[in-house]
């Protein structure tokens, strides 16, 4: 009759993760009203980018830089040869 289920393990980590940076201020998109880091999941991401470029040009640059690494869709389209 020994307890082998190990019930003391938490299902989710509690508190901030060391590898994730938590910004103090969050910039919200004027187009989709989401935090700009979620804009890429919005169907009208192109409009979001236009809004960002006009209203938050510095954030727009960040998103564009991150997008090269963070968006599998963009990579897929860019990598795909146009002559096929
Ligand atoms: Zn947006």
**What is the residue-averaged pLDDT of the chain?**
75
Q: Ligand 1 center to residue 8 CA distance, Å?
A: 41
Does the structure show a pLDDT above 70 at 17? Answer: no
Q: What's the confidence (pLDDT) of residue 59?
A: 87
pLDDT in tens, 29-47: 999 999 988 898 999 999 9
Instruction: Read off the tokens for 68.
Output: 């090269």
For ligand 1, an ion, list residues with CB under 5 A: 29, 31-32, 39, 48
Strands (DSSP E) found in 1-84: none
Q: ∠ CA 66-68-74 to the nearest 5 degrees?
A: 125
Q: What's the confidence (pLDDT) of residue 26?
A: 83
Q: What's the confidence (pLDDT) of residue 34?
A: 92
Q: Ligand 1 center to residue 29 CA distance, Å?
A: 4
Q: 0.75 cut: is pTM over it?
A: no
Q: ∠ CA 7-20-51 to the nearest 5 degrees?
A: 130
Does the structure show a pLDDT above 60 at 69? Answer: no
């Amino acid at each position: 009759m020994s307890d082998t289920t190990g019930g003391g393990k938490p299902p989710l980590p509690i508190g901030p993760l060391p590898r994730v940076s938590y910004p103090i201020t969050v910039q919200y998109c004027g187009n989709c009203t989401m935090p700009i880091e979620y804009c890429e999941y919005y169907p009208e991401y192109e409009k979001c980018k236009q809004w960002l470029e006009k209203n938050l040009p510095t954030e727009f640059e960040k998103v564009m830089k991150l997008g090269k690494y963070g968006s599998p869709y963009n990579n897929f389209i860019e990598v795909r040869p146009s002559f096929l």
